[in-house]
Structure 1
Amino acid sequence: MFPHTRRTRIVAATAIASLIGLTAACSSSGDGGSGSTDPEVISGDITVLTWRTDLVEDGTFDGYKAAFEKAYPDVTVEFEGITDYEGEVRTRMNTKEYGDVLGIPNTVTPAQLPDFFEPLGKVDELEKTYRFLRDKTYDGLSYGIPVVGNTQGIVYNKTVWKEAGITEVPTTSEEFLADLALVKATGSIPLYTNYKDGWPLTQWESHRGSISADPEYQNKMTVSDAPWAEGTDHFVIDSLLWDSVNQGYTEADPTSTNWEESKALLATGDISAMALGSWAISQMQQAATDAGQDASIIGYMPFPHQTDGQFYASVGGDYNQAINVNSTHKAAARAWIDWFNTESGFAEAQGGLSPLKDGPTPSTLVDFETLGVEYVAQNPGVEGEESLLNDIDNEAEIGLFAPEYRQRLVDSARGATDETKEQIFDDLNARWAAARASIG
């Protein structure tokens, strides 16, 4: 367990909404297997789908399996690690065979939750124990519980930045770009996009709300015809990515990037920084240890922007574990979810924010503590409009949490297409406005 430290103030509750859509399957009317909690009467074999293939391969999940099965002797749990988690699970959800327990893909909209997942209970009741739930709720019911809470920032190699002569954390995009220029002079790749794997680029979207320090930012997007107008969160976020690539501060050939390799390259200083959620800190620290470095060389800085002299960072749940509505062992599946979140110690071990309301702040976020970063969580849409942001995004065919959206920006910035940044922003605004008008 990590030691309890001062908890940074949370400005507002709930998680960052996920986007895009899936074709609905069968509907649900179950109770999430929340009947008996007696290990003596809960039984069955369950399959847990996981995006953490590294923890399957290194045996970490074997330890969880042994501990859980000791507590529930008539339940057998098996893990299936999936590398292309979003893509493969999204495809499998067109059938009934997508495990018993799984992390809800980011492409499932709130309105689709009842079609694929078993309700776990009323959100107001579950929030007495858990936080970061609102992202996966619909009509007052919760369909998933996050395995860990994340904040957003930029993970970096402190040694490289020190060698570059940088002594202060950048507070503006201009300062950040100037720092990347100093880093480039050391021979390190200043900022790595992980373009080829795609999903790491979606991490940039999660900074929305932190620029404006506004928990209503995503709801305000639903009443705006120009979310990429100058000064908006999206304008600032996407401009920094575009400018970083355009000024030559990212990898020379983004089409050949490699996620697993990038962790080792950051640890050795061949890469200077990557924009990733706080879940990545412990992975980078482990990579540093594996490379014979001290884990403390891995630092975490907030997005280079301040509001009234204050850093803010988005916060919300990671993947939410949920129960396949087609599962034949829902009680065992629910037992796994509750045990994993309350007994396994997973969140603490991964250096993340606990999904439990009384959970500790992890030591991995000591840099944020030192800087006095305040957390901003996005409020959900009002009742009846929980899926409005997703609906607009779908109609506009942008895909805010899809990699193609920001791969387009990278391709423009590196000269692979003829589009300018301004043309892309104008196009995005026009499509967004048209989608709002179409939806009404």
Structure 2
Amino acid sequence: MRNKLFSLCFVIIMILSVSLTGCGSGNGNQAATATDKPADTAGNTGGDNAGTTTEPAAGGAADISGTITFLTNRTDMIGKEYDEYVKRFNEKYPNIKVEFEASQTDYNQQAKVRMASGELPDVMFIPTIPNSDLPKYFAPLDDLGLNDQITFKDFKSYEGKLYGITTGNSTSGIVYNKKAFAEAGITEIPKTWDEFLAAAQKLKDKGIIPLASNFKDKWPLNNWVYDMPRIIEGKADFPNDKLNTDTPFTMDNGYGKALSLLRELNEKGFLEKDINSTNWEQSKKDIAAGKFAMYYLGNWVINQVIGAGTTEDNVGFFPLPYDNSGTPAAALSPDFFYAVAKDSKNVDAAKAFVKWMIEESGYEDFAGFISPLKGKESNLAQLKDFQATGVVLQEGTPDDAAVTDISNKAQIDLPAIAQEFVLAKDPQAVLDKWNKAWAKSKKDLGK
């Protein structure tokens, strides 16, 4: 990073002044790499007018020129897929030069350092900042003509203006080894919870560990505590109901039911033999080899399992049947959001690149995502099969800021609560403890 001629102390103060928000939709996963978990999908709704520009292609693609820099966490793509993207992009925009800057460390922190220093790249992903701060740093993207076509339009908006567009979306479901299923005599994917348990028993009887939870690592439990409660309740903003009660965690609501599903799987011996000594990287190899049969994770892990040592046609994906209704449903969550720096010297060129990445690059297929464009069918076989089940995808919503404030003050960490709940002799006592913490913090904050 280029150095500015001001003191380090000033930079630190500016960094601290960039306020953070808590987890929204709850995939509390940090920056994605080729072998890691996906981005934090937290965000608040909102947009503002930071100045307008012309439609990127208004005067013709050949009329737009300039050099732009894209700060990316996908270091694995630099010199590979990104080069191929630029080659195709330049067929349409021959006078735009695209350069890539790799984020070698924590992307979120590096992006905030850049924001504090006032040296933003032309194109970047939005870090975890309040949406009210978006117009301070980024140009509105409403003039791209994508507002009616994209998912999660409100996640990175403020006062009616769009500042960020998701790079792709994830849904949660069962990623499974087809050969393991066949070896256990499972000929059809389970459509009810009872069928799912029966399939898990068949796998266990064959000496195959039914489901890799990566319990110790904690973040792989995110789908159980962020996605599943919303799906069980059939309400995308269910977490915001906590504002109306002092006892948000009960056995008979989405939280208790979701946690009880995971607890049941552990009690029946369907998870790792020692769930306190799991290993994320090794688990991908074990799924690929058929030692483990399933994950309950986002679709982003499909390509990682294939890359860990199996063939594409050996990996399947279906909705987790959390009850016996036979009606599939799953959560839809965004990954990182593209943004254009408002002070970029080549805003039009940067916007043209973002629009091309969304519409034409095919990045979502490479990354294993669902397209950010509504209704666009995936080219990935697993996602096609998933969508063919008739699954209803519930588009996530951000948590109310008050929910985040109370949760932070109460030190509520939902994946950690899941760990407690699953291992506790008295799971109700776990819920009681965190209800008490919630109620106290809610009262202290006057919410």
Bin for the TM-score computed over the shorter chain = 0.7 to 0.9
Query: Which of residues 27, 43, 46 is equivalent to 2:66?
Result: 43
Tell me if 1:366 matches 2:389.
no
Inter-partner Cα distance in structure 1 for 2:293 and 2:101 = 34
Question: Who is 2:415 aligned against?
Answer: 406
Distance 1:410 1:32, change over 3 A: farther
Shift of 1:87: 6.1
Tell me if 1:30 matches 2:50.
yes
Letter in 2 for 1:75: K
Question: How do 1:176-215 and structure 2 match up within 5 A?
Answer: 176-195=196-215, 198-204=218-224, 205-215=226-236
Inter-partner Cα distance in structure 1 for 2:27 and 2:286 = 30
Shift of 1:344: 0.7
Question: Who is 1:160 aligned against?
Answer: 180
Asked if structure 2 preserves the Cα contact closer than 8 Å seen for 1:49 and 1:99, the reply is no
Tell me if 1:217 matches 2:238.
yes
Tell me if 1:281 matches 2:299.
no
Inter-partner Cα distance in structure 2 for 1:32 and 1:307 = 52
Question: Who is 1:9 aligned against?
Answer: none
Instruction: Pick the structure with greater CA Rg.
Output: 2
Task: Provide the TM-score with structure 2 as the length reference.
Answer: 0.75
Question: Who is 1:10 aligned against?
Answer: none
RMSD: 3.8
Question: Who is 1:229 aligned against?
Answer: 250
Inter-partner Cα distance in structure 1 for 2:199 and 2:358 = 40
Asked if structure 2 preserves the Cα contact closer than 8 Å seen for 1:122 and 1:140, the reply is no
Inter-partner Cα distance in structure 1 for 2:271 and 2:210 = 6
Distance 1:308 1:249, change over 3 A: closer
Q: Which ranges of structure 2 fall in alignment gaps of 5 or more residues?
A: 1-23, 29-39
Question: Who is 2:436 aligned against?
Answer: 430
Asked if structure 2 preserves the Cα contact closer than 8 Å seen for 1:207 and 1:303, the reply is no
Query: Which of residues 80, 98, 123 is equivalent to 1:76?
Result: 98
Distance 1:78 1:31, change over 3 A: same
Question: How do 1:30-429 and structure 2 match up within 5 A?
Answer: 30-31=50-51, 36-37=56-57, 38-50=61-73, 52-56=74-78, 59-70=80-91, 71-82=93-104, 84-86=106-108, 89=111, 95-96=117-118, 99-105=121-127, 107-115=128-136, 117-121=138-142, 126-171=146-191, 173=193, 176-195=196-215, 198-204=218-224, 205-245=226-266, 247-252=268-273, 257-287=278-308, 291=309, 293-306=310-323, 308-324=325-341, 329-362=346-379, 363-378=381-396, 387-399=401-413, 405-410=414-419, 413=422, 420-429=426-435
Runs of 4 or more off by more than 6 Å in structure 1? 17-22
Asked if structure 2 preserves the Cα contact closer than 8 Å seen for 1:191 and 1:271, the reply is yes
Shift of 1:231: 2.7
State percent identity of aligned pairs: 30
Asked if structure 2 preserves the Cα contact closer than 8 Å seen for 1:149 and 1:354, the reply is yes
Distance 1:246 1:187, change over 3 A: same
- Secondary structure of the 1:135 match is coil
- Between 1 and 2, higher relative CO (CA 8 Å, sep ≥ 6) is seen in 1
Inter-partner Cα distance in structure 2 for 1:364 and 1:397 = 37
Shift of 1:339: 1.3
Shift of 1:341: 0.4
Letter in 2 for 1:201: L
Q: Which ranges of structure 1 fall in alignment gaps of 5 or more residues?
A: 1-14, 400-404
The number of residue pairs the alignment matches comes to 402
Distance 1:422 1:114, change over 3 A: farther
